[in-house]
Structures are given as C-alpha cells and as structure tokens.
Structure 1
Amino acid sequence: MIVRIVKMTFREEAVPDFLENFHQHKAQIRSFPGCERLLLLNDVNQSNVYFTYSWWQGEEDLEAYRHSDLFKGVWAFTKQLFADKPQAWSTQEIEALR
C-alpha cells in the first residue's frame, strides 16, 4: 500500500476555487483503479494550506493515475492557484494503531 501525501499552499483568494474543483473531482479520483481512500485536510493554523492523502494499492496504480487525463486536468487547474511550490511524498505504512 502506498500513501501519497501532497501539501499545497494556495493564494487566499484561490481557496474557494480549489475547494470547488476538488469537490467536483473527488469521486472520480477516489474511484480511479487502485485508489483505496482519499482524504483532504486543512491546516488548523494556516487556512490556505491543504493536504491530500491518498491510499493506493501499489505504486503502479499511483503512477497510472498521475499519467491519466483526470490527473492532468485537475493538476493543470490546481497549480495555477498556488502561493508556494507544492510538496509531495510517496510513503509506505509501517504500523497503524487504531
């Protein structure tokens, strides 16, 4: 299982556009083959900083998504809204306590 974490800092006035675009595409992203879960988080101290966490069955599934028309369209729109360079990590779960 791959957990993809993306940190995005938006221009303040662009946050509503980001949220609208995310809500329009979240079901498509979540139903993309290999995507097990999708989570959107907002920093409690910086209202213009958001994180997406997405769980993928394997690295090949994540890469297929990253090369898809869906991702290319969403990312082309989203990157115009940034106030700072986004950061992204592909991680593997080692241990989970629930």
Structure 2
Amino acid sequence: MIVIHVVVSIKPEYQAEFVSQEQKFMAAAQQMAGCRSFSLYKDVHQENTFAIYETWETSADFENYQQSDLFSQYRQSIGPMLMGEPTSNYYNAAPLTN
C-alpha cells in the first residue's frame, strides 16, 4: 500500500471553492480501482494551507489515477486557486520493523 501526503496553499479568496472542488474530486477518486481513502485537512497555523492524504493499494493504482481524465480535470480546476506548487511525499504503508 502507498500513502501520499500533499500540501497545498490556496489563495484566500478561493478557500471555500477549493474545499468544495476537493470534496467533489475526492469522492470521484474513491470510486477508482485501488483507492482506499482520500482525506482533506486544514492547517491550524496557516490559514490558507491544506493537507491531502491518499491511500492506494499499489503504486500502479496511484499512477493510473494520475494518468486519468479525473486527475487532469482536477489539476485544471484547482490550478488557478494555488499559491505556488503543491509539495508531495510518498510513503510505503508497510509497518517498519527493527
């Protein structure tokens, strides 16, 4: 399983629209093969910053999502709302052992 953590900063005037669009796209993405979860969180210290957590069964499932029409529509939809490029981190969800 793979976990993706994305941080986005949104222009203040687009916050409500971003949340609405994000919820719509998250619901659609959760219907895709391999999507285990999709969550949105607002930063408590930085008013315009949001974290998105995604969990996918496999890297291939996530790559299929990134190459989908849905992801392309998502990027076009939120692009004008962004204050800079999102940052992303990718994690193997397997537990670490000593």
Please confirm whether the aligned pair reaches a TM-score higher than 0.5, indicating the same fold: yes
Are residues 1:42 and 2:42 paired?
yes
Counterpart check, 1:87 vs 2:87: yes
Gaps of at least 5 residues in structure 2 are none
Aligned identity (percent) is 25
C-alpha separation between the residues in 1 aligned to 2:78 and 2:52? Answer: 13
Give TM-score scaled by structure 1 length: 0.90
| Residues matched between the structures, number | 96
User: In the alignment, is the contact (CA less than 8 A) between 2:26 and 2:39 conserved in 1?
Assistant: no
- Which of structure 1's runs of 4+ aligned residues deviate more than 6 A? none
Give the TM-score normalised by structure 2: 0.90
2:67 aligned partner: 67
Amino acid at match of 1:54: E
How far residue 22 of structure 1 moved from its aligned partner, in angstroms, is 1.4
62 and 74 in structure 1: CA distance in 2 versus 1, 3 angstrom threshold? same
Name the CA distance, whole Å, in 1 between partners of 2:72 and 2:21. 13
Unmatched runs of 5 consecutive residues or more in structure 1: none
Shift of 1:58: 0.5
Shift of 1:94: 4.4
The residue identity in structure 2 corresponding to 1:15 is Q
Aligned Cα RMSD in Å? Answer: 1.4
The whole-number CA distance in structure 2 between the counterparts of 1:64 and 1:24 is 19
Question: Does residue 1:18 correspond to 2:15, yes or no?
Answer: no
